[in-house]
Structure 1
């Protein structure tokens, strides 16, 4: 049976995600912005937390770990970032085998936002947890990495199957949509998505997760090598990394 997915709003604009196996009652958490809403969801559904997967070290993704691990959950994170993550029970490296809830998990290196950021791809369930690397209509700020690193990371994620559900870490989509329209105002798919995002937020609905196919068509940070986007910002023929850096800089000033 495929795993179920529950999106949990946390803090001001964070999301945590619970994967659950209804046949066993086991659940795995991706990122722990705060313990309260996650514990409430576990108790409401009668699930047992077995694993906590961490994408990167920022407090708004790990603050709830110590309280949540008290029930014996295994804490999983990148070996390269172990020195600044909560104590890990399993330190993983990109490409190495990992199994969670009886399902194979691919660990993907996605530096840029931080140098130790990883994403977790569950290929059998068509879900990727990308946190602050690939985001809905956006990408994370370059706090530690370079534009080149982030562009390479986004290309790796872009190469996943188009039906992959992208679970990113924040509700930033409405602002991201407004910015994206300054980059590609003639993108009809983007205009349609922006209207849907505005309506969703007006209705109090989350805009995360999103489909990778939709991100490919509308997210300017995935489209730095698209000739039509390069033409739209007067950078036709420039390298994709240069175009990406320009778009990221514009977003930082937006």
Structure 2
């Protein structure tokens, strides 16, 4: 059973997501930067949050969890490895654990790197993965707590999902990410076209999230660090995939 998924803008550039199972009425909220816009989006649709899925501990993803849980009675689910830094959990999960939203079955992926204990939620029948600040549209999160090798393993795990998977990431950073990506592959036709489409979408006030994994594989420099032509472009012929990724991430940090 496929979930109906709604993108909810929060704060200045964050996204939360509603994932609704029409058959049962169950509705998950993925990350809660702030409660008010999410409660408004639920009210507009006549939905009630039954679950809150937390990806990682950063304040711009969890600050609204207590208020939303209090208002809705939703069950709060997050990583066991990070429970000490998360709002109070009703269910602590780890890599491979099942998560069910009504009739929709998902699983937990450990995507540590941006933070240690960061998780993603993959719902294969809905062709959806909620990645927050791990894999992002044309980018990835800074490696604040993990290592580049750890982040590369996490991105590789996400890259191996079916290419038609919709990637629901946590921020509207795509236009800036496109500008950086073009410094790595300025002659990548797919990237040039995507950058133009992103600029047009933003000029019209449209969100660029979610994206499609196949598009990320064709244009996202962080996923493409394994390719010989990308290694050549950053003067790292013969480097390991993780080493090339680390170099690209370092360049983005200085961009």
TM-score of the superposed pair, with normalisation by structure 1: 0.98
Q: How does 1:1-254 map to 2 (within 5 A)?
A: 1-70=1-70, 71-254=72-255
For structure 2, list consecutive stretches of 5 or more residues without a partner in the other structure. none
Listed one character per residue, the Cα deviations across residues 178-221 of structure 1 (whole Å, up to 9, x for unaligned) are 00000011111000000000000000000000000000000000
Are 1:25 and 1:46, in contact at CA under 8 Å, matched by a contact in 2? no
Are 2:25 and 2:102, in contact at CA under 8 Å, matched by a contact in 1? no
Question: Which moved further from structure 2: 16-25 or 189-198?
Answer: 16-25
Q: Secondary structure at the match of 1:224?
A: helix
Q: Secondary structure at the match of 1:76?
A: strand
Equivalents in 1 of 2:217, 2:73: separation in Å?
A: 39
Listed one character per residue, the Cα deviations across residues 218-252 of structure 1 (whole Å, up to 9, x for unaligned) are 00000111111112222122111111111000000
Question: Which moved further from structure 2: 236-245 or 201-210?
Answer: 236-245
Are 2:6 and 2:19, in contact at CA under 8 Å, matched by a contact in 1? yes
Equivalents in 2 of 1:167, 1:183: separation in Å?
A: 24
Measured after TM superposition, the shift of residue 23 of structure 1 is 3.4
Equivalents in 2 of 1:146, 1:93: separation in Å?
A: 19
Equivalents in 2 of 1:113, 1:3: separation in Å?
A: 27
For structure 1, list consecutive stretches of 5 or more residues without a partner in the other structure. none
How many residues align? The count is 254
Equivalents in 1 of 2:212, 2:230: separation in Å?
A: 20
Equivalents in 1 of 2:6, 2:109: separation in Å?
A: 22
Measured after TM superposition, the shift of residue 166 of structure 1 is 0.2
Are 2:110 and 2:120, in contact at CA under 8 Å, matched by a contact in 1? yes
What RMSD, in angstroms, separates the aligned Cα atoms of the two structures? 0.9
Equivalents in 1 of 2:4, 2:28: separation in Å?
A: 10
Equivalents in 1 of 2:208, 2:195: separation in Å?
A: 11
Equivalents in 1 of 2:183, 2:214: separation in Å?
A: 21
Equivalents in 2 of 1:208, 1:141: separation in Å?
A: 18
TM-score of the superposed pair, with normalisation by structure 2: 0.98
Equivalents in 1 of 2:125, 2:23: separation in Å?
A: 17
Are 1:185 and 1:191, in contact at CA under 8 Å, matched by a contact in 2? yes
Equivalents in 1 of 2:101, 2:2: separation in Å?
A: 13
